[in-house]
Structure 1
């Protein structure tokens, strides 16, 4: 896993270095040929470079000289670059630092952005169709990487939560990886959520085989859920599929859960941050159904039900206190 992450970081560094060279102009024919050879060497190089363009601006003058992309085995089109004003050279690096600072404040992970093939931003859910015909719906602030192989359909949940509806293909197992946990579909519909210290798998239809980093496996049936930590799988729980998948309808359902977990889920579902002024508040128990829109309706409900108050800077920063 570490080698894979190191490879992604190296590729991102190479793409950024080429962007700086191209943006500066004056490339020799040999350098331009070397850049085109780097693009052609691996479809992932082109995707990495497209991400740089998306983040830091489109290379309008150079695009005609970049050879068209060959068919990628992932069948995932590169992201459409976002056109941005060209900063002057003297402001480029301060602008880069400011952009990274904003990313940290927004709770994003630049490495996740580099690796992701499918993403949902804060405050949205997105439905995608995968190359094999399977469908995936990503919850807010979620990201997924596709590692398609001839003998298997493998995806990695990099952040957040995803629901999968699997197209049948007995010759190519459908497997989702998340923080050392694997979930292999033995049926059609299931969900994986990646938390800070555990991975949660819920089955909506048929069965899913779940294996943790310890090697212990659990076979889940319809309406069952298991949480897997570094110590292995926990007890299998019964869940109501309608409640478990409520986030796909814009709802968050909590049943006697700690306020700290509720706040973490709300932060993932919206832009901005909710903070607890007193760490002791994190243990207060919460039950209820909250709409993810409008953004602060859930905070209003928490104040009423728990007898708390909040101090707010618009919708971006909310401090919950006594």
Structure 2
């Protein structure tokens, strides 16, 4: 994390944290006349403040619908300020409530509500199905399971799942994973299905899988992958040499866009990781991340890309 001191004598981390608070409050339009005076004084106190504010403002704007995060950042700052004054009621209670609401907003996903199985941050779960097939749900994943004598379908609502499909007796339905308007149909195999925003990626680790989307079918062999959204990207070599290593506590990343890597790390990070530089998000990176040491390995990854990390309390900024 950044710690270089500025003109004021405070560390870069402290300056970035203050800048994130001001960026959040400015985006919400909640400054009183007293706040505006305090903001002007803060900005003028150190030339580094303006630069930090610009970075944090750009980060908030890059999130699109950033109000929940902005409110959480502002609330956390207010809570800390209230704690320093030892105020336990009134505004302090409101701030604590906002922190809770902000945290839920940041992490909750309506798409997972009511799912048959779902995992939380950093949680990987193994499930044995009625037909003998086995699933491994990655962290922050959710599935619906419909495995009977006449149907063997798993619907991936969110995240990533590794499947070892049991061989079906003659006449039994093929094991199928549905996700994002398409499906992966087992041909006696083991494979990974991952939702990446609006895209879905299927990677075969053993046997074969037929991927169906948009009226097209692509047959994948061991070591191949395909991505679909509206239609299917042709089969290619799998991007990750060990696509299911997360089951053993490691993310093995091979030539992935940094933005996709951050999305994966957010399944294991205790705080949301926010990549503030879109251009950096397109960089292709490789490496190994320990899922129980995400924060430490994120620092190392950031340095290889000339980036820094700043913990602002409710999130971690990944920035220049």
Alignment TM class, shorter chain as reference: 0.5 to 0.7
Partner of 2:192 in structure 1? 191
Distance 2:274 2:161 in 1: 25
Distance 1:234 1:275 in 2: 28
CA pair 192-159 structure 1, distance change in 2 beyond 3 A: same
CA pair 100-186 structure 1, distance change in 2 beyond 3 A: farther
**Are 1:103 and 1:109, in contact at CA under 8 Å, matched by a contact in 2?**
no
Matches within 5 A, 1:23-62: none
**Are 1:138 and 1:163, in contact at CA under 8 Å, matched by a contact in 2?**
yes
Q: Using the TM superposition, give the Cα deviation of residue 209 of structure 1 relative to its aligned residue in structure 2, in angstroms.
A: 1.1
Q: Using the TM superposition, give the Cα deviation of residue 281 of structure 1 relative to its aligned residue in structure 2, in angstroms.
A: 2.3
The Cα RMSD (Å) is: 2.3
Matches within 5 A, 1:1-322: 101-106=102-107, 108-114=108-114, 116-170=115-169, 171-212=172-213, 214-230=214-230, 232-239=231-238, 243-313=242-312, 316-322=314-320
CA pair 279-205 structure 1, distance change in 2 beyond 3 A: closer
Question: What do the CA deviations read for 1:182-224 (whole angstroms, capped 9, x no partner)?
Answer: 1111113111111112111111121111101x11001111111
- Number of aligned positions between the proteins: 223
Q: Using the TM superposition, give the Cα deviation of residue 260 of structure 1 relative to its aligned residue in structure 2, in angstroms.
A: 1.4
CA pair 186-123 structure 1, distance change in 2 beyond 3 A: same
**Are 1:103 and 1:110, in contact at CA under 8 Å, matched by a contact in 2?**
no
Q: Using the TM superposition, give the Cα deviation of residue 301 of structure 1 relative to its aligned residue in structure 2, in angstroms.
A: 1.1
CA pair 97-169 structure 1, distance change in 2 beyond 3 A: farther
Q: Using the TM superposition, give the Cα deviation of residue 100 of structure 1 relative to its aligned residue in structure 2, in angstroms.
A: 6.2
Q: Using the TM superposition, give the Cα deviation of residue 247 of structure 1 relative to its aligned residue in structure 2, in angstroms.
A: 1.5
Q: Using the TM superposition, give the Cα deviation of residue 149 of structure 1 relative to its aligned residue in structure 2, in angstroms.
A: 4.4
* Structure 1 alignment gaps of length 5 or more: 1-94
**When the two structures are superposed, what TM-score results if normalisation uses the length of structure 2?**
0.64
1:287 aligned counterpart, secondary structure: strand
**When the two structures are superposed, what TM-score results if normalisation uses the length of structure 1?**
0.64
Q: Using the TM superposition, give the Cα deviation of residue 279 of structure 1 relative to its aligned residue in structure 2, in angstroms.
A: 2.7
CA pair 97-227 structure 1, distance change in 2 beyond 3 A: same
Aligned structure 1 segments of 4 or more residues deviating by more than 4 angstroms: 95-101
CA pair 238-130 structure 1, distance change in 2 beyond 3 A: same
Q: Using the TM superposition, give the Cα deviation of residue 135 of structure 1 relative to its aligned residue in structure 2, in angstroms.
A: 0.6
Of 189-198 and 142-151, deviating more is 142-151
